[in-house]
Structures are given as structure tokens and as C-alpha cells.
Structure 1
Amino acid sequence: MKFDFNLWDIHIGTPHPFNDRAPVIDNGTARPTGARYHDKAFAAAEWEKVFARSWLVACPVSDVREPGDFAKFDIGPESFIIVHGDDGQIHAHYNVCPHRGSQLILSDTGCIGQFTCPFHSWQFSLEGENLAVTDPETFRPEVLCHDHNMTSVRCEVAAGLVFISMDPHIEPLKQWLAPILPHLELYDIDKMHVVQHRKSDWGANWKGGVDAFAEIYHLHAVHPQTQCLMDDRTQIDLYPGGLSRQFVPFAQPSRRFEDQESVNPGIAMMLQDAGIDPASYNGTAHETRAAVQQAKRKRSEQFGLGYEKFSDTQLSDSTVYGLFPNAQIGCHPEAVFLHRFIPHATDPNQFTYDTCILYRHIDAPGYCAPAWMGLGDDIDMTGATRPEIVHTGLGEPPGLGEVLDQDSDLLPIVQAGARSRGFRGPLWSEQEARLRHFHVELDKRMKQGNDA
């Protein structure tokens, strides 16, 4: 019997090039062992063979728009400084003074004229060149003949995001991103700014976080409250290099939800978001998605929002991209959310969940970020101020909202089971095709690391 890969596909609306399916990639049916989720040797090899040799999303361009703007990016045992140089280019350096190894920057973001080491006051340009050594006459000339500039890493920009790589020989960023780059560029992320940024430490492996956010198979069990306004039939597209895409349909109930007719509070919220008065709406819940799409097109035509470049799907749904190894971007015309799953420096049973929402401010009646993102009235949506990062530690209530807090409660339970000798490894359905695609790419890169 041949499996019907389209069994769970939703009808995504009027045909549009954006919605075209990617060529099929068959990643097989192998079952990897569960050791990848907890084994320290695997985690150590993973750092050297995957993270040290991949493109990593470091920060949005909005954090480093002007000369002197910097953002600190911490991942695993490393810390990096992303900075807009006086030369007009964006640079990335290890957050390390070449003298004695002190970190140079402690703030998450800011603006600075030069780097000064807090230990002995050595000074460096934004481009990483040494400007001054304190008391240079006390050093033998042969010592200062050694390179005493900051150590830089590859840094490239695409689709409004800054990427870094510790591998000097890695393929160009846009070459790797090529299958999805035109998609991401449609959203003008470079014109967006961060309106919320939170980090929380979770008691699970970082891959457990990637897995949970790369499928919507679990919604009915973990987030049943979403079933009234989110459909879990979905199109999944896989691309070379560990890249993937999934449509998350909003504004209509899941087929698992009993009432497909009534306009429930969740559906009403999405109607109101699109400028439709729920009280005067005469359609059913199942028809809401199309009504939202039409209303947003009307608003765009009226106020020049430029939505003609988007498919119907993009106007109502969340289009989520997976960027190997540890980032996911959920795209909407008004705002995007960026998720990063940051491995712990030493413990494979912990990771930091880093999430931020970027918003493009346009002064037009009714224009706003999707209400389900939960952005309160106290948040500055204009981009005039960059919000501070709110970081909650392991065991603290993360306060990320009902759905994400449910994930943070569940993942330590999944991690505990993954450590059991009774767990023989994951068995993925085609609803979890993005997970298998991710892990096949992971294994491929781990093997390449062995061959190098």
C-alpha cells in the first residue's frame, strides 16, 4: 500500500507561486537511537561538527542598523559581538580580549564607539583592530609581534537577519538559503524591529525544542485550546540543507474540533483583527479563513499595504520556516516571530529558548500584529525603543503565554523519557516530516565531521 502523503493537507486557497510544493525529498524510515537527546559525547561532537560548521542566526538587522550598534549573541560555550562598523559593514567577533581572554561586552544590545576591555583597558575598533595597549613599553616587542586584534568570524546578512559562522570555509549564506530566500525576502524583515524578546531556560535537549516546534501533530493533546481556531491539516515542504517550511492554518477550526459552524471567541478575535465585526459576520467558522484573507486584501488596497505580493495563505496563516540547525521563523505580513533553541554549554539536558517578535510599524487604521501573538498595550510598537531581554532561569515560570508555557512544562517530561533505556528512538509520522528531515541533516553533518 502506498502512503498518501497529502492525507493531512489543507486546501491552501487560490493557486499562487508562493504555495508551490517543493520537490519531494524522501528521508526514509530509519529509527535513530534516543542517545542523541542526552549523551554528553554526542553533544560535544555535535558542537564541533554541526554548530561550529553551520550558519547561525545571530540577531535581526534592526539591532545593528547604525555605526556603533551592537548585539551580543551567546550560544553554547561561545559569545559573539555583532557590530555595525564605522566602515558601514556589519562584523562579528568573538567576545574575547586577545590579552587575557576577558569578555569585552556584557550588555545584550547597545551603541558604542570602540571596545575597551574591562580588565586592563586594551582598546579595539569596531572592526576588531587593536587601537591601544595599556603600558606597551612593559611588553617585550616579540610579544606584541603576535596578532593582538580581536578574532573575527564569518558574518553575512540575508532577509533582514544577521548570520554568523565559525567555519571560515563555509558556503556563502545566500547559496545555502537559496531555496527559501525569495520567500523570506517578501516579508521585509529588514524593515521590522524587535518589540518583544524573551529567553527562558528549559530542562530538555535543544533538539527536543526543535522537534516540538517543527510539527503541529501535538496541538490536540498539548494545546487543545487552539483547536477552535487552528487547523492541523498542513502542507509541509522540505528543501536541501536541512531547510523546511510548514503552513499553520489559522482562522478555522481543526477537523478534530466538534463545532465547525459557530463563531467561537478565537475565531471572533481573528475576524476583528482583519477588520470584520464578529457581531455582523454571517458566515460559519469554517468560512472565516477566506473572509479574513479577503478583508486583509481590501485593507491593503485601501491603505497601500502592498499585500498583492502575498498569496491568500500568507494573509491568514503562519508560514513557518526551519533553518538548520536551531532556528525557526514564523512569517506574517505584519510581524514575524523568531525562535532559537540554544544548546547549553555543558549539559545536554538543558537549553535556552530564545524568542523574539519583530514588527513592521505602519500607520494605517486597523493595521497591527496578529492578536494571538499576545502583545500588550504597554509595548512600544513604533520601534523607538529596543525592549530589554527578559530572561527566566530553569524552574522559574517562563511567563511566555499559555501555549508556550505548556510546552515548557511538557518538554522536561519528554526529556526524562528520552533518557530511559526503554526508549528505543523516535518513530516519526509524515505529519512530523520536518523532524525526520532535520535529524537526517544532523546525521549527515555529523558523518561529514567524522570524514573531515
Structure 2
Amino acid sequence: MNYDFRLWDIHVGAPHPFYRHSYVDNGTARPTPARYHDPAFAAEEWEKVFARSWLVACPVSDIREPGDFARFDIGRESFIVVRGDDGEVHAHYNVCPHRGSRLVLDDFGSQSAFTCPFHSWRFDLDGKNVAVTDPETFRPEVLCHDINMTSVRCEVAAGLVFISMDPDIVPVKEWLAPILPQLELYDIDKMHVIQHRRSDWGANWKGGVDAFAEIYHLHAVHPQTQCLMDDRTQIDLYPGGLSRQFVPFAQPSPRFADQESVNPGIALMLRDAGIDPATYGGTAKETRAAVQAAKRKRAADHGLDYDKFSDSQLSDSTVYSLFPNAQIGCHPEAVFLHRFLPHASDPNQFTYDTMILYRHVDAPGYTPPAWMGLSEDIDTSGETRPDVVHTGLGEPPGLGEVLDQDSDLLPIVQAGARSRGFRGPLWSEQEGRLRHFHAELDRRMGLGEPA
């Protein structure tokens, strides 16, 4: 049964062709919890899902010039994404064909060729072998085998580089077609990374996807957000496990008792839009509209192209899920990119990788959204690419109050998912993106609808 279902209408201000609610009935089945902890499920998932999907490898800004490369590790594999001498983007397994050594150990950098640290075999940026150390010591029949790096599909869309281990996968823009025009509005290709954090969490990667794909938990896990975030939301579901959710900012949740006072969270949003909280005469629940109007005025004053955005896109977080393991939170000024990376062998661990990308604009008051919590010393010019800050399992991740709360909670959820007493998740319509994700997962895995 298909019908137009919405929990709440977020009352979009300016009309926009992309604000058409899209609902998919994914049923009411209760899936087995084995998907969260069973090693056999994880092994099959790697082959049927990750090895056959488009995966977000890096922002295109990480490989601006020929020779620029970024390393992308996921599960048991490592890849090199590189800008070739021809200006095109290429991707290869990070493996030397001689003895299997990793070729690149740095997260990113720039070089004219790849040299194996084990025996100094060299490869050009296209992956072609250009030097074998002491070739006369090999029988000719050995070097007649393929001695080039193994390349993978690599395509660029919406300012992001995607790779796939499946040579026959559909083009990335065809897969992204339902949401690609929306993502392209944000000009991510003109943004650069200003913060990159990576931390290891004691949970299955799907537990991370689940937690970040709904805001049903905010009142319980992140009650401090209720003063400035409305947890009424619009959910849109698209083919291929793609989804979108609007998270209204700059107004209190209906669960929050005080809808009138300009609390510190609301004051933060006002200042971010260039409004002095001391002279603001409206109520907290009127702040969202005031922020939208102020941002439109600032854009008009400084020649920013905000006409392409709806009112809600100016104030809210528009969050997209890209199956299987990426989420992009979009704002006109900046986006955040989350990736949930499965562990190579343990389904009870994953790596949470998060970046903030920002487009520098020389206009008074134009900054990344203040709620992103960036420190004042962060370089937003785009001149330098920040290092990846990586914290191991059990270490305080230092991601900020809200994300640290998630990192504390997910191991507790993972422990419960392994209990005999847990018979599988029961999703509400507020968790529709979760059911949509798992329905696509089941389709990829060849699973029928559970009883």
C-alpha cells in the first residue's frame, strides 16, 4: 500500500520542487537481531553489501591537484583515491601486486608515484607498474603476470568521490538520481574539510546507522537539545535505501516546557544568523522564521545564492542517508559527513568517521553553523587540510557533548542486542528511515520478510 504519510508537516516557507513527501511502505516485520552481532551474517554482509555498493571514499577537495591522494580504509580493505596526471580521479586497492604490502600509510598527501615500502616497486598514479627492483632476477614468465595495481570503479558526484569493488555496478549518478539534484544545491565540490575525527566504538556499524537516522531518542539521550531543536520531522524515502530527513532548528521541541523565553540555545542560533539576542523581540518558537529572514537578508547583501534554498534549508539540518553507511547533513554554509565503517573481523565494533566541510565566503557573520561546536582556532580558509584525529576503543572520543553521549550509549545497546531476551527491533514511524535501510539490507542479502 502506497500513500502520502507524514508524522508532522514542518510548514516549509518558500516553495521548492524537492519538498514532495515520499513514503514507502516497508511493512511491519520484526527482523532477527543476529544482524547486529553474528560473525556469519557480517561475513556475508561484506560480500553482498559492501563489495557491491557505492561507498563514499572522500570529498573531492581532498584530491584537488594531480598527485593528491586520500587513503580510504573500510573493513578488511584499503584503497587509494588519487588525482591522476590526466586530471581524472582514479582508485586502486592499496596493495602491491608483488607481495601484498600496503603502498600508502598516510591518510592523505601528494606524490608523483607510489613506491612500495617493502621492495621499492613503483607505480604511476594510474596504477601502472613503472619499475621492478632487480627485474633480471625474475624469470620472464613471472613478470608476464599482471604486475600493475588493481583498480576499482571510481566516480564523482555532488562533490564526493565514490568507489565500488563491483566492476558492473550502475553509474553512481544513476543510483543517486532521486536525491542528486538536492545534494548538488549545496556545492559540496566547493567546500573543504575543516575538521576530521575518527573514533572506534563498541557496537555494530548498523547500530551507528540506526542511531543517526532518527531523532526519536533526542529527548532521552540528548535532553539538552530540546530547547533549540524540534523533534517533529519530515521523512522521505527513496529507492535503493536512500532517505532524507528534515530536523528543524532554532525552535524548541514541543516536549520543551518553555516555548517563549530566549534560552541560551536559541540565543546561539540568533547570533549565528546575525541577530542580537538582546534586541530580539520575538519568542523562542518564532526564532526559526527570524533566522530564515536574517539569512536571506545577509545573502542578498553579500551576493550569496540563497534563492535556490527553501526557508527550512536555511535554518534546519537536511540529512541524507546513502546506503549502506554514509549520512550527509546539509546546510548552505557547511555540511557534515558521517561514515559508519565496519570492523575487519568483529561485528561488535565499528569506526565512526565524521568530517565537517565548509565553503569559505568573505562576508561579515558568515561562518560554519555555531551548533557544530568548532573551536575558534580552526582554520576555515581551506588552505590547510586538518589531520585526522583518531581515538581508539575505550578512549574518550572528544567529539562534543552530543556525540560523546552517543558513543557511551551504543555499546549498551549492542550488549542488549546480543541478549537472548531481545527478539529484534520494533520500529515506529518516527524510525521509518531505519526500516527503509534494513529493508534494502535484506534485499541485498537475499532475505525474505521475517515472520
1:81 — aligned with what? 80
Confirm or deny that 1:275 pairs with 2:278.
Answer: no
2:128 — aligned with what? 129
Judged with a 3 Å threshold, the aligned counterparts in structure 2 of structure 1 residues 4 and 164 are, in CA distance, closer, same or farther, namely closer
**Paired AA for residue 315 in structure 2:** S
1:103 — aligned with what? 102
Give the match's secondary structure for 1:31: coil
1:15 — aligned with what? 15
Q: Cα offset for 1:11?
A: 2.2
Give the match's secondary structure for 1:319: strand
Per-residue CA distance 1:229-253 (angstroms, 9 max, x = gap)? 0000000000000000000100000
**8 Å Cα contact 1:18/1:311 also seen in 2:** no
**Paired AA for residue 47 in structure 2:** E
Confirm or deny that 1:247 pairs with 2:237.
Answer: no
Query: How do 1:194-273 and structure 2 match up within 5 A?
Result: 194-273=193-272
Q: Cα offset for 1:386?
A: 0.3
Q: Distance in 1 between matches of 2:438 and 2:394?
A: 28
CA RMSD between the two structures: 1.3
Give the match's secondary structure for 1:208: helix
2:173 — aligned with what? 174
Q: Distance in 2 between matches of 1:14 and 1:119?
A: 59
Q: Cα offset for 1:3?
A: 11
Q: Distance in 2 between matches of 1:239 and 1:3?
A: 14
Confirm or deny that 1:438 pairs with 2:427.
Answer: no
Q: Cα offset for 1:4?
A: 9.2
Q: Distance in 2 between matches of 1:94 and 1:14?
A: 46
**8 Å Cα contact 1:156/1:173 also seen in 2:** yes
Q: Distance in 1 between matches of 2:3 and 2:137?
A: 74
Confirm or deny that 1:307 pairs with 2:306.
Answer: yes
Q: Distance in 2 between matches of 1:441 and 1:3?
A: 20
Confirm or deny that 1:364 pairs with 2:363.
Answer: yes
**8 Å Cα contact 2:7/2:429 also seen in 1:** no
Q: Distance in 2 between matches of 1:234 and 1:242?
A: 19
Per-residue CA distance 1:381-415 (angstroms, 9 max, x = gap)? 00000000000000000000000000000000000
**Paired AA for residue 70 in structure 1:** F
Judged with a 3 Å threshold, the aligned counterparts in structure 2 of structure 1 residues 448 and 132 are, in CA distance, closer, same or farther, namely farther
Q: Distance in 2 between matches of 1:4 and 1:329?
A: 25
Confirm or deny that 1:49 pairs with 2:51.
Answer: no
Q: Distance in 1 between matches of 2:295 and 2:17?
A: 19
1:294 — aligned with what? 293
Per-residue CA distance 1:114-166 (angstroms, 9 max, x = gap)? 00000000000000000010000000000000000000000000000000000
Per-residue CA distance 1:292-322 (angstroms, 9 max, x = gap)? 0000000000001110110001000000000
**Paired AA for residue 6 in structure 1:** R
Q: Cα offset for 1:10?
A: 2.6
Query: How do 1:328-343 and structure 2 match up within 5 A?
Result: 328-343=327-342
Q: Cα offset for 1:30?
A: 0.6
Give the match's secondary structure for 1:278: coil
What 5-or-longer segments of structure 1 have no aligned partner?
Answer: none
Per-residue CA distance 1:198-256 (angstroms, 9 max, x = gap)? 00000000000000000000000000000000000000000000000000100000000
**Paired AA for residue 281 in structure 2:** N
**8 Å Cα contact 1:8/1:431 also seen in 2:** no
**8 Å Cα contact 2:12/2:310 also seen in 1:** no
Q: Cα offset for 1:88?
A: 1.1
Q: Distance in 1 between matches of 2:374 and 2:258?
A: 28
Judged with a 3 Å threshold, the aligned counterparts in structure 2 of structure 1 residues 3 and 160 are, in CA distance, closer, same or farther, namely closer
Q: Distance in 2 between matches of 1:414 and 1:186?
A: 36
Q: Distance in 2 between matches of 1:208 and 1:60?
A: 24
Give the match's secondary structure for 1:92: strand
**8 Å Cα contact 1:5/1:430 also seen in 2:** no
- TM-score normalized by the length of structure 1: 0.98
Give the match's secondary structure for 2:18: helix
2:351 — aligned with what? 352
Q: Distance in 2 between matches of 1:363 and 1:5?
A: 42
**8 Å Cα contact 2:107/2:388 also seen in 1:** yes
Q: Distance in 1 between matches of 2:181 and 2:444?
A: 25
Q: Cα offset for 1:8?
A: 3.3
**Paired AA for residue 66 in structure 1:** E
Q: Cα offset for 1:190?
A: 0.3
Give the match's secondary structure for 2:46: helix
**Paired AA for residue 292 in structure 1:** V
Q: Distance in 2 between matches of 1:256 and 1:4?
A: 26
2:162 — aligned with what? 163
Judged with a 3 Å threshold, the aligned counterparts in structure 2 of structure 1 residues 423 and 3 are, in CA distance, closer, same or farther, namely farther
- TM-score normalized by the length of structure 2: 0.98
